[in-house]
Chain A
Amino acid sequence: MSKTNATTVGRRALLGGTAALAGFPNIGFTQPRQPIKVGVPTILSGRVAQLGLSSRNAMQIEVDRFNASGGLDGRPIELVVRDSRGVPAEAARLAREMISGEGCEFLLDAEPSSGGFAIHEVVRETGTVTLHVNSETSSLTADPRQRFWNAFRVARQGIHDSIAGGAYAAEIAKARNLRRWMTVSPDYAYGRDTTAEFVEYVKNFHSEIQITGETWPRLFQADYTENITRLSQGRPQAVYSCLWAGDLVTFVEQASIFGLFQQSQFFAVNMADYTTLQQVRNLPAGVHSGNRYLRNFPDVPENQEFAAEYNRRFNTFPTNWSWQAATSVRLLGTALRQAGGTDPRAVAGKLKGMTIDSPFGVGGKLTMRAEDQTLVDYAIGWGVTIAQDPYIQRMTPADWAVIYRLEAEWKRSKGWT
């Protein structure tokens, strides 16, 4: 058998060489190399279609750059993007089909946590190198039972945001004597977990804070009047929320006409994303927000250029999911080149502990932390809103040393280290 193969290859090489010498260079030497297929299951329809669209757009920018600079020894990356419609079972099915039916060698999972965990189980079985791009649920990589050699997270993480947000909010609370707090967050796992973590850390940094009430609107609730009147009646000095996207826009519009933002300081971790900032018609000044994606944070030319190119190509601005998606392609491309091929073990080995230059990182660097295969050193900060572009000012960067210390304590408390 091996003899036959050798003969075949030899004959092909001979034919190619003859064709080249005979004046048919396209046949002989510059025929396009086989693309490296990368599967991207994501949400492209429904109320959170922006998740998939802005992920796909940013990936395409980075893929075009990778291919234009020669790809992997001439092999370009080809994205295979499919719509899961936000159904975890469909995301898992798509992942399997991409791997076994469409020849995808790698996955960039651009699902939220619900679909991300479903895909995680698929690739645990298939051994496909997978980068989770949008799942922020901490346990995905923090829990050692969830961890295996071929899965990585290239997304911000709930515990990091909660520590950063807690530290910032506690400083504001001390300075303005804000002790009575209420919360309004969506009534599902993300909302409950993120709010609980924020409350834990804001109290950790400022023990005099009391949560005097909470209200839990449904995900995608149409009307927030009842939640806002409850907040008004509670007369809190500060309100925390992890509502997001359209839900946050609706809440802010309604809360504005109740004068809630004159009554209380508002801390909204998900406000500083262009999809939200540009949709709120009456963006109140002085709302505190964590950064999701801002073109001026970090305020470096490469970040501005990324936003400008994205805007030029897609007539809108990047989102939090965009910077994560772009980073996932850059990490994968770098690992492919360092490994010199597509061998999964070699690529995964290069990804572990890899540091890359990035406009989205602190000091221009991002690291795929080896111990739990998750992204660290990305830019986290909080600032306050203003009505006009750039929408957020007085950004206060988070201290990663504090995040590392408290994250380690949190993992110990969970029995994960």
Chain B
Amino acid sequence: MELAELGECLSSVSCIVTQSAAGLTIGMLLFLVASGLTLIFGVLGLVNFAHGSLYMIGAYLALTVHGATQSFALAVVAGTLGTALFGLFFERFLLSRIYGRDVLMQLLVCYAVILILDDLVKIIWGADFRSMGVPEEFRRPPFIIGGGIVPYFYAILFAITAAIAVLLAWGMGRTRFGRIVRAAAINPGMVGALGINTTVIYAAVFAIGAGLAGAAGALSAPIRSVVAGAGVSILIESFIVTVIGGMGSIGGALAAALILGFTRSFGSIGFPLFVEGAMFAMMALVLLLRPSGLGGKRPS
């Protein structure tokens, strides 16, 4: 533990700025993946263990489109929509057959999909790691705020992810589609009885969740290795977010993702050897004290 260093950091504007910017960016990227995971669980009741692979697909699609067009905007759009489309087929032809089955069956099917997708990626893009690199238009000196460093590209990432979060909150809270989705999460039978096609709702929700994971993969491709199996580590963190935030709660996922982002950034100063441990400890604490999570509804 290096808590004295953490104390020094917290009394320094430059350190607070640098670590906060890092924490926000890490947290928001994590939120994109975890919000899709929690949305799918909340509505479909499905624990999508292959969610990390959707993140990986988004990254590879973005890499390919960026290589062909040199446009980061097109790469992100292709990564998002391409993964959403893939998710749609994935849900319709495979996952829809295991709704309501026990978790073990869901785990087996999803694990098989992880292995198949990893091998497909190797066949199509090769087994070696790939790198997109920070696009030319974002290669600018970092902002210096109060002596702290905020990379230009991180500011862009934060702006895009925050915009997506706002759009998601608005879509789920203020639109007719959002109301139907929330109703389907609570009582799908009643929604169906009202003449609404729940199959379409389920497919759309899964596609949105997949698209969010694809967007996270595409947005982070410039700063992370693009490699087969890249979805595994992000999946573990997403599950931690989902458990802390509450299964099915998007607001809870946002809060939990930011908590984890800040734990990573400030933890690297104060307890660098216990950052991972701290995340799991928080999860354990939430499970003990509030099993439904920060934003989850307590059982009545």
Judge whether A215 and B134 touch: CB under 8 Å: no
A-B contact count (CB 8 A): 116
For the complex, would chain A's binding face be called helix, strand, loop or mixed by DSSP majority? helix
Write out the residue numbers on chain B whose beta carbons fall within 8 Å of the beta carbon of A230: 268-269, 272
Write out the residue numbers on chain A whose beta carbons fall within 8 Å of the beta carbon of B26: 223, 225-226
Judge whether B127 and A279 touch: CB under 8 Å: no
Write out the residue numbers on chain A whose beta carbons fall within 8 Å of the beta carbon of B22: 225-226, 228-229
> Which of the candidate stretches A90-98, A202-210, A252-260 sits at the interface with the other chain?
A252-260
0/1 interface trace, chain A 170-189, chain B, CB 8 Å (1 if under): 00000000000000000000
Residue in A218, A227, A280 whose CB lies within 8 Å of B133: A280
> A44, A227, A233 — which one has the most chain B CB atoms within 10 A of its CB?
A233
Q: State whether the Cβ of B69 lies closer than 8 Å to any Cβ in chain A.
A: no
B-contacting residues, A228-252, CB 8 Å: 228-230, 232-233, 245-247, 249-250
Q: State whether the Cβ of B191 lies closer than 8 Å to any Cβ in chain A.
A: no
- Once A225-B26, A257-B153, A259-B149 are accepted as A-B contacts, the answer to whether A47 and B227 lie under 8 Å apart by CB is yes
Q: State whether the Cβ of A7 lies closer than 8 Å to any Cβ in chain B.
A: no
Size category of the A interface is: 35 or more
Closest-CB distance, B7 to chain A (whole angstroms):
13
Distance, CA A232 to CA B225, complexed state (A): 22
Residue in A44, A256, A279 whose CB lies within 8 Å of B129: A279
B-contacting residues, A265-312, CB 8 Å: 275, 279-282
Q: State whether the Cβ of B48 lies closer than 8 Å to any Cβ in chain A.
A: no
Judge whether A53 and B127 touch: CB under 8 Å: yes
Distance, CA A246 to CA B229, complexed state (A): 13
Residue of A at shortest CB range from B128?
Answer: A50
Residue of A at shortest CB range from B25?
Answer: A225
Judge whether B153 and A221 touch: CB under 8 Å: no
Residue in A49, A220, A232, A254 whose CB lies within 8 Å of B127: A49
Write out the residue numbers on chain A whose beta carbons fall within 8 Å of the beta carbon of B224: 222-223, 250
- Once A222-B233, A258-B142 are accepted as A-B contacts, the answer to whether A215 and B127 lie under 8 Å apart by CB is no
Judge whether B134 and A226 touch: CB under 8 Å: no
Judge whether A249 and B225 touch: CB under 8 Å: yes
Q: State whether the Cβ of A45 lies closer than 8 Å to any Cβ in chain B.
A: yes
Q: State whether the Cβ of A101 lies closer than 8 Å to any Cβ in chain B.
A: no
Judge whether A220 and B133 touch: CB under 8 Å: no
Write out the residue numbers on chain A whose beta carbons fall within 8 Å of the beta carbon of B233: 220-222
B-contacting residues, A20-49, CB 8 Å: 44-47, 49
Closest-CB distance, B10 to chain A (whole angstroms):
12
What is the interface size of chain B, counting residues whose CB is below 8 A from a CB of the partner?
A: 46
Distance, CA A19 to CA B131, complexed state (A): 62
Residue of A at shortest CB range from B222?
Answer: A253
Q: State whether the Cβ of B196 lies closer than 8 Å to any Cβ in chain A.
A: no
Residue of B at shortest CB range from A227?
Answer: B268
Judge whether B275 and A226 touch: CB under 8 Å: yes
Write out the residue numbers on chain A whose beta carbons fall within 8 Å of the beta carbon of B272: 215-216, 230
Residue in B18, B128, B151, B275 whose CB lies within 8 Å of A275: B128
Residue in B29, B133, B234 whose CB lies within 8 Å of A282: B133
Distance, CA A118 to CA B18, complexed state (A): 45
Judge whether B129 and A47 touch: CB under 8 Å: yes
Judge whether A254 and B273 touch: CB under 8 Å: no
Judge whether B223 and A229 touch: CB under 8 Å: no
Write out the residue numbers on chain A whose beta carbons fall within 8 Å of the beta carbon of B290: none
Distance, CA A279 to CA B133, complexed state (A): 8
Judge whether B264 and A226 touch: CB under 8 Å: yes
Judge whether A45 and B275 touch: CB under 8 Å: no
Residue of A at shortest CB range from B18?
Answer: A229
Distance, CA A304 to CA B268, complexed state (A): 44
Residue in A216, A233, A257 whose CB lies within 8 Å of B134: A257
Question: What 5 A-B pairs have minimum CB-CB distances, sorted nearest first?
Answer: A281-B133, A246-B129, A49-B127, A226-B268, A246-B225
**Contact residues of B with A, CB < 8 Å?**
9, 15, 18-19, 22, 25-26, 29, 122, 127-134, 138-139, 141-142, 149, 151-154, 220, 222-225, 227-230, 233-234, 264-265, 267-269, 272-273, 275-276
Can you list 18 residue pairs at the A/B interface with Cβ under 8 Å?
A45-B122, A46-B228, A49-B122, A222-B220, A223-B26, A226-B275, A230-B268, A232-B18, A232-B149, A233-B9, A246-B131, A250-B223, A253-B223, A257-B139, A258-B142, A279-B131, A280-B131, A281-B134
